[in-house]
Amino acid sequence: MNRFKTAVLLTTLTLIMVALGSAIGGRGGMYFAFFIACAMNLFSYWFSDKIVLRMYGAQEITEAENPAFYGMIRRLAVQGGLPMPRVYIIPSESPNAFATGRNPEHAAVAATEGILRILTPEEMEGVMAHELSHVANRDILISSIAATIAGAISMLANMVQWAAIFGGRRDDEEGGGWGGLALAIIAPIAAMLIQLAVSRSREYLADESGARLCGKPRSLASALRKLDQASRALPMYEARPATAHMFIVNPLSAGMLMQLFSTHPPMEERIARLEQMGH
Tell me if residue 125 is catalytic: no
Contact between residue 148 and residue 41 where contact means Cβ atoms under 8 Å apart: yes
Determine the 3-state secondary structure of 100 from DSSP. strand
In whole angstroms, give the CA distance from residue 144 to residue 38: 9
Contact between residue 90 and residue 57 where contact means Cβ atoms under 8 Å apart: yes
The DSSP line for 228-274 is HHHHHHS--TT--GGGGGGBSS--S-GGGS-GGG-SS--HHHHHHHH
Catalytic residue among 123, 131, 203, 208, which?
A: 131
In whole angstroms, give the CA distance from residue 180 to residue 167: 12
In whole angstroms, give the CA distance from residue 14 to residue 34: 11
Start-end of H helices in the chain: 2-23, 27-55, 67-79, 113-118, 121-136, 139-165, 177-214, 217-233, 267-278
Active site residues: 131
